[in-house]
Amino acid sequence: MDLTGLLITLIGIIAFAVLAPVLGCFLAGIDRIVSARMQGRVGPPLLQPYYDVRKLFEKEGVTVNGVQDAYVICALIFAVIAGGIFFSGGNLLLCIFVITLSSLFFIIAAYSSRSPYAEVGAARETLQVMSYEPMVLLFAVAFFMATQTLMAPDPTMSFFVAPGSFDVGAVFSLDVPVIVCIWPVFLGLMFILTIKLRKSPFDLSMSHHAHQEIVRGMTTEMSGSTLGMVEILHWCENVLFLGWIGIFFVWGGPWTILIGIVAALVAYFVEILIDNNFARVKWQFMLKSAWAVALVAGGINLAVLAFL
């Protein structure tokens, strides 16, 4: 990466750190309102998630140990870095590795409390990572192969090989969106998005709904500012994951970003609909179904692209 690229990435990280919590807060508020309307309730105000997090930061800091706070802070930092890399048009594969590192720090934070409830939640979170990670990696490979297929071959290279790229910004040089080549991967990503957004039926490690369980899994021993940072982490992750959905519909000029935003919002509404209509499943079903989707949607799509 040259100096200009590094500067653009740093600007993207700073912008994401400022804007992602704001956008994520609005998304969480919309989620609560839409869920309430689906259940026949009025629902809270749009900014209720902000009020909740502000109250958490105003509470006295009570934590099991200082290491837990350090791990949560690291998880939040790496999530912000991953979002900055993605939205600055950086390397998609690097973005995936960094956000996975964020998830690992969050898991370690739960384990560090030594609470049996938090440890069960951490074990379930580990299973969730094992479930969705194959599909996410196939998404990155499919993105590279799609850009290689859709980009014009480079006449300066032998055999006129198309370049291909993991860079998110490469979509602006395409004549059509990548979804025309990798729509099965898109469907597979939509399936595991339910796990990534912590929506039912795959919200095994921690739940945002009181009806799912008495204790809240990974965050059972977290409170105050620590739990507030976890909520902000979740907001940033939601913005990043919806960005992954939107990139399937962006091509050519910057005006297509609006199409990507609309597609991401539609996907988010679908996830809310699923969340309110399906009960939690066992981890065995989650693991088997996610890997099956990755094998069918991702594997077959990559095999087809390899022969195009």
Question: Which of 34, 13, 10, 30 has the alpha carbon at shortest distance from 274?
Answer: 34
pLDDT of residue 281: 86
Domain boundaries, the chain: 3-306
Give the Cα separation of 266 and 261 in Å (integer): 9
* 128: Cβ contacts below 8 Å, ≥ 6 apart: 195, 202, 204, 205, 286
pLDDT of residue 25: 95
Q: Give tens-digit pLDDT for 27-53.
A: 999 999 999 998 888 889 999 999 999
Average pLDDT over residues 160-185: 85
Residue-by-residue DSSP string for 187-250: HHHHHHHHHHTT-TTS--S--SSTTT-SS-GGGTT--HHHHHHHHHHHHHHHHHHHHHHHGGG-
Output the CA–CA distances (angstroms, integers) from residue 193 to 32, 49, 139, 198, in the order listed.
18, 21, 12, 8
Average pLDDT over residues 2-24: 91
**CA pseudo-torsion sign 270, 188, 24, 215:** positive
pLDDT of residue 283: 86
- The more confident residue out of 59 and 94 is 94
Average pLDDT over residues 160-177: 81
Average pLDDT over residues 127-141: 94
Give the Cα separation of 202 and 33 in Å (integer): 21
Q: What is the token pair recorded at 12? A: 């993207």
* 291: Cβ contacts below 8 Å, ≥ 6 apart: 131, 134
Side chain identity at residue 246, one-letter code: G
58: exposed, middle or buried (C-beta count within 10 Å: 0-12, 13-18, 19+)?
exposed
pLDDT of residue 218: 81
Confidence of residue 130 (pLDDT cuts 50, 70, 90): very high
Is residue 278 pLDDT above 90, yes or no? no
Q: How many CB atoms lie within 10 A of CB 37?
A: 12
pLDDT of residue 200: 85
8 HSE (CA, 13 A, CB side): 13
Confidence of residue 120 (pLDDT cuts 50, 70, 90): confident
- The more confident residue out of 106 and 63 is 106
Average pLDDT over residues 164-179: 89
Confidence of residue 5 (pLDDT cuts 50, 70, 90): confident
Question: Which of 238, 230, 217, 203 has the alpha carbon at shortest distance from 31?
Answer: 238
pLDDT of residue 164: 74
